[in-house]
Amino acid sequence: MARLDDALGAQSKVRKGPPCSVGLLLAALDDEERVAVIAALADKTRSKRHLSEAIRIAYKYEIQDHTLNRHRRGQCKCPR
């Protein structure tokens, strides 16, 4: 592997843009609620629309469908 590849791989990826709304919600929840939301996010049988509506009802917190998808794919600013 080239030295440049090593150096690039050693650097952490800088994620630009606003904080992830899902990450902000998870940080605000107690442990029990956080575990429940994480489990729901991991359940691929639940649609993004169903999840965003359930989160809005349960927590009075608005999360857009595309934000849920980005978080599920690991393409948001949340640490991995």
pTM: 0.76
Say how far apart CA 50 and CA 19 lie, in whole Å.
22
Both tokens assigned to 67: 């934000």
Domain containing residue 31:
19-73
Residue 1 lies in a domain: no
pLDDT of residue 13: 61
Residue 29 lies in a domain: yes
Q: What is the DSSP letter of 12?
A: P
Residue 25 lies in a domain: yes
Residue 13 lies in a domain: no
Q: What is the mean pLDDT of the chain?
A: 88
Cβ neighbors of 20 (< 8 A, separation 6 or more) are 67, 70, 71, 76, 77, 78
Q: How many domains does the chain have?
A: 1
Residue 35 lies in a domain: yes
- In one letter, which amino acid is 73? R
Residue 6 lies in a domain: no
Taking only the tens place, the pLDDT of each residue in 25-44 is 999 999 999 999 999 999 99
Instruction: Pick 3 or 37 by higher pLDDT.
Output: 37
